[in-house]
Amino acid sequence: MGKAKIAITIDTEFIGELDRLVEENYYQNRSQAIRDAVREKLTRMKRSRLSIECAKLDPKFEKSMAEEGLAEDVSQWPEY
């Protein structure tokens, strides 16, 4: 994945925390810490959007769609 330089404005309080994490060798530099935070936030947002969309589903309708045509197929399944 390619990288691009951007400029951001961030509260000084957060800069201090970032610098502490870099000093403690948790991250190599500020950029790495910010990339990690952005990646984590985007991942969480995607998961929560998926949860929201799943909550909109009607379980009865989804089950009926999944079972549609199943009765015909079952007769063709081998006996075990």
Each domain of the chain, given as residue ranges in start order, spans 12-73
User: Per-residue pLDDT averaged across 5-12, rounded?
Assistant: 94
Per-residue pLDDT of 15-73, as tens digits, reads: 999 999 999 999 999 999 999 999 999 998 888 888 888 888 888 888 887 777 666 66
Inter-CA distances, 34 with 24, 40, 47, 75, Å: 16, 10, 20, 57
Q: What are the residues whose beta carbons fall under 8 Å from the beta carbon of 28, sequence distance 6 or more?
A: 22
Do residues 35 and 28 lie in contact, with contact meaning Cβ atoms separated by under 8 Å? Answer: no
Q: Which residue has the higher pLDDT, 18 or 77?
A: 18
1 pLDDT higher than 90: no
- pLDDT at position 70: 67
- pLDDT at position 72: 65
Using CA atoms, how far apart are residues 60 and 57, in angstroms rounded to an integer?
Answer: 9
